[in-house]
Amino acid sequence: MRAFISCVYLFLYAPIALVVLFSFNAGRNASEFTAFSTAWYGKALSNTFLVSALQNSLIIAFTSAALAAVFGTMAALGMERLSSRMRALFDALFAAAIVVPGVVIGIATLVALVAVFSFVNPTIAALWPGDQPPQLGLGYGSIIAAHGLFSMALVAMIVKARIASLGRDIVEASSDLYATPLTTFRLIVLPQILPSILAGFLLAFTFSFDDFIIAFFVAGSKTTLPIYVFASIRRGVTPEINAIATLVLVASLLLILTARVLMREKKSKSGE
């Protein structure tokens, strides 16, 4: 049994280790390790297409995760006070945002946005006084919106679970002592749910940063890092891609570890 378990761990980590190892390979050949070198990292980071894809990914991941953290938390706080029927509707929609395959979310967003653009753009053009009316199109906005949907659901779920385990008595004590609802929120509730919000933010960031398929549909002419990596793989695997892949792995690993630490803190504090 132990041998089998060891094999499974090897199976899980060997491919990752291989990519990391070959990112430090001096040679171009992907089958033999010639000498240790960090040259491919330098090449990767001086590749302007790649750096701009990385920038796009960071901007999109940060914005969609921030939106999701704020709106998802607000929704989690508001949902408690909704009627049970409305709450069930919200739960179902959030669950749908998570369960529906990314491919379909991407398509649905694309279809809907294009329908909106084909109506809005001529209208703007007709009303615009100057020669060059602004055109709405796919890009940052559409990717952020589509990632924000999934991320908001994720944050709302995580924060809602935390609120459910929150002690009611301390909130009641606070209002008995004449704190305004806003003060109670700021001094009592927020500090307790903050780790969950941060964890949700980090998970949403990671999801957005790693997502390929949704962005592939709604990116328009914008290129995110996964889209760039995917396109490069189809042109042939190079050590440069290994270097980027390693950087992506390290980044998502750090974010996930931070998120997990934050969530564990939540659990120990609530005494589970």
Partner 1 sequence: MRAAMNTKRNLVTAALVAPAAAWLTVFLVLPFIAMLVFAFGERAPEGGYQVAFTFAQFANLPTRAAAFWNTLLLAPAGALLCLIVAYPVAYYLAVKANPRYRLILVSLVVVPFWTSLLVRTYAWMYILGSRGIPNLLAMIGIEDVRMLNTPGAVLLGIVYGYLPLMIMPIYVSLERLDRRLLEASADLGAKPVSTFFGVTLPLSLPGVTTGVALVTILLLGEYLIPQLLGGGKVFFIGNALVDLFLQSRNWPFGSAIAVTLVAVVVVVLMVAMRIAWRVAGTRQVDLV
**Residues of this chain, 81-110, that bind partner 1 according to CB under 8 A:** 81-82, 90, 93-94, 96-97, 99-105, 107-110
Question: C-beta of 251: minimal distance to partner 1 in Å?
Answer: 9
Which residue stretches of 178-270 are H helix? 181-184, 190-210, 213-218, 225-235, 239-269
Contact in structure between 211 and 148 (CB atoms under 8 Å): no
* Cβ closest to partner 1, residue 82 vs residue 173: 82
CB of 67 to partner 1, least distance (A): 8
Q: Please give the size of the binding site for partner 1, defined by CB under 8 A.
A: 79
* Euclidean distance between the first and the last CA atom of the chain, given in angstroms as a whole number: 31
Triad 146, 195, 62: Cα angle to 5°: 30
Least gap, CB of 97 to partner 1 (angstroms): 6
Q: What's the rounded Cα separation, in Å, for the pair 210 and 150? A: 13
Please report whether residue 111 would count as binding partner 1 according to CB under 8 A.
Answer: yes
Residue ranges in 246-265 that form contacts with partner 1 under rule CB under 8 A: 248-249, 252-253, 256-257, 259-260, 263
Q: Which stretch binds partner 1 (CB under 8 A): 34-42, 111-119, 123-131, 168-176?
A: 111-119
3-state SS track over 95-150:
HHHHHCCHHHHHHHHHHHHHHHHHHHHHHHHHHCCCCCCCCCCCCHHHHHHHHHHH
For the CB of residue 77, give the shortest distance to partner 1 in the complex, in Å.
Answer: 5
65 part of the interface to partner 1, by CB under 8 A: no
Please state the closest distance from residue 28 (CB atom) to partner 1, in A: 12
Question: Which residues does 249 contact at the CB level (< 8 Å), separation at least 6?
Answer: 16, 19, 20
Please report which residue ranges of 24-47 form alpha helices under DSSP H.
Answer: 39-45
The string of DSSP codes covering 149-183 is HHHHHHHHHHHHHHHHTS-HHHHHHHHHTT--HHH
Q: Residue from 54, 56, 72, 243 that binds partner 1 (CB under 8 A)?
A: 72
Nearer to partner 1, 81 or 177 (CB): 81
CB of 37 vs partner 1, minimal distance in Å: 18
Tell me which residues in 116-175 interact with partner 1 (CB under 8 A).
Answer: 145-146, 148-149, 152, 156, 158
**Residues 213-242 interacting with partner 1 (rule: CB under 8 A):** 213, 216-217, 226, 229-230, 233, 237, 241
| Beta carbon nearer to partner 1, 190 or 257 | 257
Q: Is 28 helix (H, G, I), strand (E, B) or coil?
A: coil
74 binds partner 1 (CB under 8 A): yes
